[in-house]
Structure 1
Amino acid sequence: MTDQTQSIRQLDDAQVATHLNDLVLVLMDSVADGAAISFMHSLTQAEAERFWLQDVASAVKRGDRQLFGAFVEDRLIGTVQLVTGMPPNQPHRAEISKMIVHPEGRRRGLGKALMEAALDAARGAGKSLVTLDTRTGDVSENLYRKVGFLPAGIIPDFAYDPDGAARHATTYMFRYL
């Protein structure tokens, strides 16, 4: 995969259905690989499809969320979401959600490129603060620091690992634009 063309594209709600197979594969394989992204190893294909088609596509259609895909050639291999539909007292803020790169696509700069696209979109939407949370000590925490996020605090026992064997802490992070 090293000499293949990589690109980051913003996806609309209809493109979620177009790329559904890849989106499901990215989500399911990442959870199976231990990614702490709100799902458990018991995640089924039907649940993954419902997440992308109902939860994500509908939020994108409403304009509450922007979805970006990382492509290698024409295969979607990673995603990140920028949540822009915030409460009335937080119009200046956006949130990063579900930063996922398929295990086969990691260590290629796709995560950084996805984050930069999301941050550019936040600027374009007039946001001045972006927040996120990540499993404390996860490799993604280093990525977030490299693109300018700072830790705000750690909550112990925040969520179960995907295998359900243990709970992990989460680190809340922020970045001004």
Structure 2
Amino acid sequence: MERWDGDRIRARADGLAALLTDTVASGASVGFLAPLGHAEAVDWWRERAHAVASGGLAVWAALDATDRVTGTVGLDFPGRPNSRHRAELVKLMVHRSARGQGLGRRLLTTAERAAAADGRTLLHLDTETGSPAERLYRSAGWTVAGTIPGYAATPAGELRPTTLYYKRLDDGPGG
């Protein structure tokens, strides 16, 4: 697992797109409706490459033994002066063929450690209420902040609630 720069994301956009389309096809609510075309997924990743190059986003990718992208996680860094202490965990995705092997946990831990090393003291995320991802976040010590009904559509277009989570990375003030 390694942190990828904008050039690497552009160069590996096809493999990243394959992961994204698999994630959507498996029913995960990651911001897209099904069916998600490969070209649309490639374009989306290429747009992320610009955010990575500008420092507003960090992306880690995991590869299998055949060099296929099997997972990703990102940290979205807000640009406002009053929010430099936090980041949003985004697009934690694991290919269906790699699920159940601890990759999601390793990706999550990688992002948390990188955020702490960067001086971030607070992480937050949102995920579909009742999704398998919720079990991961709860078991990793994330705290529920609340639930918003009908917040996002599943890949099939059904409006579902979203649960907001946060995790303090220090014991400092403001917690």
SS at match of 1:89: helix
Partner Cα separation in structure 2 for residue 100 and residue 86 of structure 1: 24
Partner Cα separation in structure 1 for residue 57 and residue 34 of structure 2: 26
Deviation at 1:119?
0.5
Say yes or no: does 1:155 pair with 2:134: no
Partner Cα separation in structure 2 for residue 146 and residue 87 of structure 1: 31
Deviation at 1:86?
3.6
Tell me which residue corresponds to 1:13.
6
The one-letter code matched in structure 2 to 1:140 is A
Identity %: 38
Deviation at 1:76?
1.3
Partner Cα separation in structure 2 for residue 159 and residue 85 of structure 1: 22
What is the TM-score with the length of structure 1 in the denominator? 0.92
Match of 1:143 among 136, 140, 152: 136
Contact 2:87-2:123 at 8 Å conserved across structures: yes
Deviation at 1:171?
0.2
Contact 1:154-1:171 at 8 Å conserved across structures: yes
Deviation at 1:88?
2.1
Tell me which residue corresponds to 2:97.
104
Tell me which residue corresponds to 1:35.
28
What are the ranges of 5 or more consecutive residues in structure 2 without an aligned counterpart? 170-175
What are the ranges of 5 or more consecutive residues in structure 1 without an aligned counterpart? 1-7
Match of 2:109 among 104, 108, 116: 116
Q: Which runs of 4+ in 1 moved over 4 A?
A: none
Give aligned pairs, total.
Answer: 168
Tell me which residue corresponds to 2:55.
63
Partner Cα separation in structure 2 for residue 119 and residue 136 of structure 1: 22
The one-letter code matched in structure 1 to 2:163 is T
SS at match of 1:39: coil
